[in-house]
Structure 1
Amino acid sequence: MRPNPFDDIEELLDRLSRQVEEGMTAGGLQVPGSVPINVADTSDEYVVTADLPGYETDDIDLTLSEGTLRLEANRTGDKAHEEGQYLRRERTKTSASRRIRLPEPVDEEAVVAGFENGVLTVRLPKVSGGEESRQIDIE
């Protein structure tokens, strides 16, 4: 009996499917050039944390517009060495970006951001002030 030529392809597709599923349950498939983030929803605010190792504060641009937080980071390559030559040079100019759509309005004037040890933390207080619901009287 001759082996089915499509068995290898089917096995490859099954393996790829498992890897995609595992990647999604483990926190997501990382798209090149995107920034890995966490978005936490507390009762009073959203807290966005983003990993940006190797970047400086001046390399990062944060904007908030119409309920979307936009993060852009650009880093230039290392300066050339005065003496000698490179045997390998992989650290070049890099950029990363991410857009995060917030489900509720935030107080744009009260947003604060900090950057420490390559981790950006953005705190976005909710406009509603954490009120869950309000009873409406019917007249």
Structure 2
Amino acid sequence: MRRNPFEEFEEMIDRMSQQFDQSGMSTLETVPIDMQDHGDEYEVIADLPGFASDDIELTFSEGTLHLDASREEETEEGSEEAGRYIHRERRESVSRSIRVPEPVDEDGITASFNNGALTIRLPKEEADEGHTIDIS
């Protein structure tokens, strides 16, 4: 009896995904974001459905916003074996790094989380007027 070619293709994709996961390389999963420039600040909105605000860690360093989210794996209560996934796309952890094009006021960064959407506001740093250089 011949196997379904679609099953073979899905198995191949699953094997490739597992190899990427084991190598530490990113697969197709990522945190989708929108980034807008509002003149005096940048606004980043990231979609994190299924995560709680306590699951999210947000850091900013050297002009890059780092977003990490992780949650406990869901298992069926009362069962030692939760079952075998047929198809799986929802991840227990995701991360994303976003380079910000201009310097921002790190102390003024704020974030809010509502209905699976994380909104981060990054106020731009005041432009330095420069200074006079004495010539000797």
Normalised by the length of structure 2, the TM-score is 0.64
CA displacement at 1:128 relative to structure 2? 2.5
* Whole-angstrom CA distance in 2 between matches of 1:86 and 1:64: 37
Give the structure with higher Rg (CA).
Answer: 1
* Whole-angstrom CA distance in 1 between matches of 2:79 and 2:94: 31
Contact 1:69 1:100 in 2 (8 A): yes
Runs of 5+ consecutive residues of structure 1 not aligned to the other structure: 1-30, 135-139
Code of the aligned partner of 2:70 = N
* Whole-angstrom CA distance in 1 between matches of 2:80 and 2:92: 24
1:79-98 CA-to-partner distances (Å, cap 9, x unmatched) read: 43126975655587621111
CA displacement at 1:39 relative to structure 2? 0.5
Distance of aligned partners of 1:69 and 1:85 in 2 relative to their CA distance in 1, 3 Å threshold: closer
Runs of 5+ consecutive residues of structure 2 not aligned to the other structure: 1-26, 130-136
1:122 aligns with 2:120: yes
Normalised by the length of structure 1, the TM-score is 0.63
| SS of aligned partner of 2:120 | strand
Code of the aligned partner of 1:126 = K
RMSD: 2.7
Report how many aligned residue pairs link the two structures. Answer: 101
* Whole-angstrom CA distance in 1 between matches of 2:31 and 2:90: 17
Match of 2:58 in 1: 62
Contact 2:50 2:116 in 1 (8 A): yes
Identity over aligned pairs, percent? 48
